[in-house]
Amino acid sequence: MIHQQTRTIKETLRMWSDMSESTAKNRWGVEQRLEFIDFVLYWEGEINRSRITDQFGVSGQQASNDLTRYQLIAPQNIRYDLSSKRYVPTEEFRCRLIKPDAEKYLGQVHALSSGVIRKEDTWLDIGTAADSLPIPTRAVDPEILRAILRTIRSNKSIEICYQSFNNATPEPVWRRITPHAFASDGLRWHVRAFCHRSGIFKDFLLSRCRGTRDEQAAEASQSEDTEWLSYFEVKLIPNPRLNPWERKAIALDYDMHDGEVTLQIRLALLYYFDKRFGTEFECRTPLDFAQDPKRTPVVISNRDEYLHAIGSISSW
């Protein structure tokens, strides 16, 4: 239904070929601004011309045209409020151009409040206080990242000057890798690569790379990295020791269905999941011995399989 509506909207826009936006590029600009109107009406509950002009740098007349177009597309969605001199959503409002996504919205709020992105890089106009817990950042040299990206795209190997967390090699050393992907544990970024010295696929922290040099032929491909290509399903359930009402609350928190939620995690990333959530989810304690259910309200139900998968990872 949404795809059919989108096609209808695009066909409607093409009918306005006599207006200023007549090229394909400008039609995309119109569509984007109409999606913006849909977004702001849904999340903020009101919109006026200046909201559009400030966001896109178009004229007031162009913003008026966009609001008129939106009314033609979704007349049941919007009305003009004389007292506030703004357009507001009607009680029958339903998004026509976007699919509301709470996680995406909150992700932008987090990125904005933590300084990762600027306000002008989002469609948000936060009137509600928002903040996020500051987390120490890991410095990544953009030139090093650029060199590794180039190496991946050209399917080659490269030497990196790497600071290992190893007493045997306290100083940075040059080592050749064939990179093929990037991975994040939520706090740090790694490059997934074949290590020519150890002969296995491993993760290298980008923040510990001090330099790059000497691109050469690759010695392995992503198709050989079985731990990257394999997945393990972590099954989470409310702690059985909670009472029924507490279990219901936890199931709602984690969007569980039939009392369970499944996370599909690459085998290569399972170590990071264990490192971050192992204690929180009591994955190393049998369910019968989880003594404090309110401290660990969520547990891994397939614990034995989980521990076996952790033990099978060759790069750790």
pLDDT of residue 232: 95
**Last residue of some domain: 191, 222, 253?**
222
- Residue 94 counted as domain residue: no
Tokens of 36: 């913006």
Do 8 and 76 sit in the same domain of this protein? Answer: yes
Residue 57 CA: distances (Å) to CA of 45, 52, 118: 22, 8, 16
pLDDT surpassing 60 at residue 24: no
pLDDT of residue 276: 84
- Residue 59 counted as domain residue: yes
Closest CA to 292 of 252, 247, 244, 239: 239
CA 172 from chain centre, in angstroms, equals 32
pLDDT tens column, 189-220 = 999 999 999 999 999 999 999 999 999 999 89
pLDDT band at 95 (very low <50, low <70, confident <90, very high): very high
Domain holding 295, by residue range, is: 230-312
Q: Which residue has the higher pLDDT, 247 or 316?
A: 247
Q: Which residue has the higher pLDDT, 179 or 28?
A: 179
Do 252 and 304 sit in the same domain of this protein? Answer: yes
Do 296 and 218 sit in the same domain of this protein? Answer: no
CATH number of the CATH domain containing 18 = 1.10.10
Q: Indicate the pTM of the whole model.
A: 0.72
pLDDT surpassing 90 at residue 180: yes
Do 149 and 218 sit in the same domain of this protein? Answer: yes
pLDDT surpassing 60 at residue 302: yes
pLDDT tens column, 127-167 = 667 777 777 777 899 999 999 999 999 999 999 999 887 76
- Residue 136 counted as domain residue: no
Tokens of 6: 């989108």
**Last residue of some domain: 89, 121, 153?**
89
Query: Number of structural domains, the chain?
Result: 3
Tokens of 178: 């064939």
pLDDT tens column, 256-269 = 999 999 999 999 99
pLDDT surpassing 50 at residue 249: yes
CATH number of the CATH domain containing 147 = 2.30.30
Do 216 and 235 sit in the same domain of this protein? Answer: no
- Residue 75 counted as domain residue: yes
pLDDT surpassing 70 at residue 22: no
Mean pLDDT of the chain: 84
13-22, 23-32, 120-129, 191-200: least confidently modelled range: 13-22
pLDDT surpassing 80 at residue 86: yes
- Total Cβ atoms within 10 A of residue 105: 16
**Last residue of some domain: 201, 222, 243?**
222
Do 10 and 67 sit in the same domain of this protein? Answer: yes
- Residue 137 counted as domain residue: no
- Residue 290 counted as domain residue: yes
Do 85 and 148 sit in the same domain of this protein? Answer: no
